[in-house]
Structure 1
Amino acid sequence: MRKVIEQLSARPSSDGDGVKLLRVFGGAQPERFDPFLLLDEFGSDQASDYIGGFPPHPHRGFQTITYMLQGKMEHRDHMNNIGLLNDGDVQWMTAGRGVIHSEMPKQTQGKMRGFQLWLNLPAKNKMQTANYEDVNANKIPEFDIAGSKIKAIAGQTSINKKQIKGYFDVEDTRPLYLDIHIEPGDKLNIQTQNEHNVLIYVYQETIQIGEDKTLAKAQTISRLEKHGDVLIQSYADKPAKVIVLSGKPIEEPIVQYGPFVMNSQQEIEQALQDYRKGILT
C-alpha cells in the first residue's frame, strides 16, 4: 500500500470577480502533481462570496473539470456554447489552442459548492481545437461498495475487487477522478497504476490512509508514493467525503502564466500576443 509523503492544507484565496475559494494545490513546483495543475474547492451559502462569478477570461494548453456538488453555474464561451451546471453535474472543457469563456452563478441565494480541477495536456495536444462537454449528474456512474458510495467521474480502477469505470476516459494522462463517501467502519482498497501520481483530498471529516493509518483531516490533500495501491478507511464514527485523483505524469516542462499553461516561456509569450491580437482561438 502507498504511504503518504506530503500533506498540504487548502488555503483561502479568491479568483474571478472576488469569488472566495480554497486553493487546494497549484502554483509552486507543479511537477509534484503532474499531470494535475490545480485544484480549487469553492463553497459558501453567502451569495456575496460567489455572486461575482468568473467573467470572460481566456485559457490555453490544458483542461478544466468543473464538478458541482450544489448550486447552479452557467458557462458561455466564444464558440457560442451555453451550458448550465446543476447539483452533481460535471463539465469537462479542453481549452486546447484557446478558449474564452465565463462561468457565472445562476442563483442569488442558497449554497454553491464544488470543485475545479486543472489537468495538463501534453505538448502534442496543447494546440488542438477547444471543446467541452456538460454531463448531467444522472449519467455519472455510481457504485455502492461496503456501504460507501463512489461517484466515478473519470478513469477505471478496482475497489475491493469490484470494477469501477468512470464516465470520462482520457488516453494520454489516464486520469482517475472519484468522489467517495466513506461510511463509519468502512475500508476501501483502491487499485492504482504504478508510477502514476495519486492525490487524496478530504472535504468532509477525517480519514486514515495506508496501513500506517496516516490521518487526513478535512481541507487537507495528501500526496502518496508512486508504487502500490491505496487504502483509505473511516475515522471515528462520522461519514467522510473524499476526492481521489490519480494520473499518468506527462513529464514535460510546465510553464504557467495565469490562465495559460505551455512548455516554454516563448509559447507563453505567443499566447499573450495571440490574446492581445484577438486570435487566441
Structure 2
Amino acid sequence: MATATPTAYARVGRKLRGQATSDGAGVRLTRVIGGAELPDLDPFLLLDEFGTDRPEDYLAGFPEHPHRGFETVTYMLDGRMRHRDNHGNEGVLVPGSVQWMTAGRGLVHSEMPEQEAGRMRGFQLWVNLPAREKMTEPKYQEFAPDRIVQLHPADGVEVKLIAGRVGEASGPIAQPATDPVYLDIALDASAQWEYDLPEGHNAFAYVYEGGIAVGDGEDARGIDAQELAVLAGGNRLKLRDGGRGSRLIVVAGRPLREPVARYGPFVMNTKQEVMQAFVDFQEGKF
C-alpha cells in the first residue's frame, strides 16, 4: 500500500518591515520591496504601500515621468487616482480597481489624486519583463471593482482575485511571461485558509491590517501589519488570522532569472540598454 506524500507547506523564509520614504512630488509611502533590505524578489522589482488620511501626504501626486522595460501594477483600496500618458490614454482608478500597465518600449505618464480630502490607500507593484518583451508596445489592463472576482473559499475568508487562479476561478489579469498571482485576502478573527501556490514561483505575503501566522505547526511564524514574509519551502500556503481579523496581499510570479540593469524608471538587461533609454527619452522617442 503506497504511503501518502506529506504536504509540503510554505514557510517564512525571511520577514521584513517596509521603510518610510517619498516618491513622485513628495507622496509619502512605505517601500517594502526595492529598498536596501530587499532590492528585488525576481520578477518583482518594487512594492510600495501608500495610505494616509492627510491630503498633504498625497496631493502632489506623481507628475509626468517615464518608464521602460517593466510593468507597474496599481491596486486602489481607498481614494481616486487619475492617470494619463503621452499616448492619449486616460482614466480614473477608484476603490477596488486595478491597473496593470506594461510600459514596454516606453511611455510618459502621470498619476494624480482625483480628490482633495479623505483617505488615499493602495499598492504599487513593479513586475519585470523578460528581455524579449522589454521593447513591446505599451498597453494597459485596467479593471473596475466589479470585474475583480470575489470568492469565499472558507468560513470567514474573502479573496479578491486579481491575477492567478483559486479553484476554478481566474483573475482578469493575463501575463504569460511571469504567470502572476495577486490575491487580496481578508480573514475574520481566527479564520484560516490554505492555498496552493504555483510550483517554481517566487512568492510573498504582505499584511496591511491585523496580524497572521504563516506556515503549519511548529514552522508557523507570526507576521504583523506592515510586515512582508518572503515565502520558502513548499507550495501549500497556510494562513491563520491572529485573532483580531486581518487583511493581506499574497503575490507570486515565475522568476525570469535574467540580468537586471535598472536606474530610476528604466529596467533593462544591460547598462548600455539603460543608457539608450535615457537617450530615447531625451529625444522624444517615448
Do they superpose with TM above 0.5?
Answer: yes
How many residue pairs get aligned? The number is 275
Shift of residue 261, structure 1, vs aligned partner: 0.5
**Alignment match, 1:120:** 128
State the distance in 1 between where 2:106 and 2:275 align. 14
Q: Identity of counterpart residues, as a percentage?
A: 44
**Alignment match, 1:197:** 202
Alignment deviations for residues 211-261 of structure 1 (CA, whole Å, 9 cap, x no partner): 12200000000001153211111112x110000001100000111100100
* Pair 1:267–1:226, CA change in 2 (3 A): farther
- Native 8 Å contact 2:32 2:38 kept in 1: no
2:53 partner amino acid? D
1:190 partner amino acid? Y
Q: Which residue of 5, 13, 16 maps to 1:5?
A: 13
State the distance in 1 between where 2:232 and 2:257 align. 17
**Alignment match, 2:181:** 176
* Pair 1:272–1:27, CA change in 2 (3 A): farther
Q: 1:1-281 maps to which residues of 2 (within 5 A)?
A: 1-28=9-36, 33-145=41-153, 146-157=155-166, 162-211=167-216, 212-236=219-243, 238-279=244-285, 281=286
1:62 partner amino acid? F
State the distance in 1 between where 2:14 and 2:99 align. 29
- Native 8 Å contact 1:65 1:90 kept in 2: yes
State the distance in 2 between where 1:265 and 1:124 align. 17
* Pair 1:84–1:77, CA change in 2 (3 A): same
* Pair 1:114–1:121, CA change in 2 (3 A): same
Shift of residue 139, structure 1, vs aligned partner: 0.7
State the distance in 2 between where 1:209 and 1:164 align. 24
Alignment deviations for residues 47-85 of structure 1 (CA, whole Å, 9 cap, x no partner): 000000000000000001100101010000001111001
With 259-268 and 126-135 compared, the bigger mean Cα shift is at: 126-135
* Pair 1:53–1:149, CA change in 2 (3 A): same
With 12-21 and 167-176 compared, the bigger mean Cα shift is at: 167-176
- Native 8 Å contact 2:19 2:31 kept in 1: yes
State the distance in 2 between where 1:92 and 1:173 align. 13
Residue segments in structure 1 that go unaligned for 5+ positions in a row: none
The CA RMSD measured in Å over matched residues stands at 1.3
State the distance in 1 between where 2:16 and 2:212 align. 15
- Native 8 Å contact 1:199 1:222 kept in 2: yes
- Native 8 Å contact 2:40 2:46 kept in 1: no
